[in-house]
Amino acid sequence: MRSKIVAGNWKMNKTLKESKELANELKSVVENVTLDNTRVIVAPTFVNLTRVSEAVEGSAIEVAAQNMHQADSGAYTGEISGEMLKGIGLNSVILGHSERRAYFGEDDALLASKVDAALKNNLEIIFCFGEELEDRKSDNHFNVVGSQLKNGIFHLPSDAWKNVVLAYEPVWAIGTGETASPEQAQEMHAFIRNLIEETYNESVADNVSILYGGSVKPGNAEEIFSKPDVDGGLIGGAALKAEDFGAIIKAI
Ligand code: PEP
């Protein structure tokens, strides 16, 4: 059975002090809720990964990285490898976030190599993708999403999918305050699950968690999460405040 997941992407926010404070606050939130088949993940910036992991130790909160390089080591100044993430005890990494695609030129081919490197290092992948506003306006959103999946992650064999979580994040809804309607999210998630069933089989499709991301807030989380193919959320802005992220965890 697929898990429900609430994941918080802290992006380039929070100093060490602020990160530890937020981690401690979230720890209390999570201790006071029943997490029925639900995972809670936070993704702080690289430099704070170890200390946040220490802060949440003993709680149900998991820690993920926001990105990684595709090589294990070498002359790649400023980069961090999957082997290094595994080495500090992490089990998950976000790949393909729209900000990585837009500002750092990460295309499908590069992401496919990062996907392989993550799996080689036994890291679960939270694979992000989603269409731009123009794609939706021109009714091309299903094609764009289909091709991001085909070119970025559908090369994996079916047994690798137990280590994959998908995050559908329409670019026009990220950090904009504008969110896909629960119906739009459900429609796309059902399309994605269908595509996985066609490409692999029913069991892979049924077992993969598909998260929605894009301006999820305490006020809209419950309705979005109530849709049958929406298995949780990848949260940006609202993950930076324990009160809001806690309310979103409770919504699921
Ligand atoms: C994100 O960056 O993944 C995201 C969904 O951000 P926000 O919740 O702020 O729209």
pLDDT at 68 over 90: yes
Instruction: Read off the pLDDT of residues 77-108 as tens digits, 9 standing for 90 and up.
Output: 999 999 999 999 999 999 999 999 999 999 99
Instruction: Read off the pLDDT of residues 142-195 as tens digits, 9 standing for 90 and up.
Output: 999 999 999 999 999 999 999 999 999 999 998 888 889 999 999 999 999 999
Catalytic position from the list 62, 99, 131, 169: 169
For ligand 1, whether the C-beta of 175 sits within 6 Å is yes
- The residue whose C-alpha atom lies closest to atom 2 belonging to ligand 1 is 236
pLDDT at 197 over 90: yes
Instruction: Respond yes or no: is residue 54 known to be catalytic.
Output: no
Instruction: Respond yes or no: is residue 189 known to be catalytic.
Output: no
CATH number at residue 45: 3.20.20.70
Question: 113 is in which domain, residue-wise?
Answer: 4-251
For ligand 1, whether the C-beta of 209 sits within 6 Å is no
Which atom, in ligand 1's list, is nearest to the CA of 176? 10
Question: What is the domain count for the chain?
Answer: 1
Catalytic position from the list 69, 97, 141, 189: 97
For ligand 1, whether the C-beta of 214 sits within 6 Å is yes
Instruction: Read off the pLDDT of residues 219-240 as tens digits, 9 standing for 90 and up.
Output: 999 999 999 999 999 999 999 9
pLDDT at 36 over 90: no
CB 208 within 8 A of CB 2: yes
Q: How many residues does the chain have?
A: 252
pLDDT at 8 over 90: yes
Identify the pLDDT of residue 179: 86
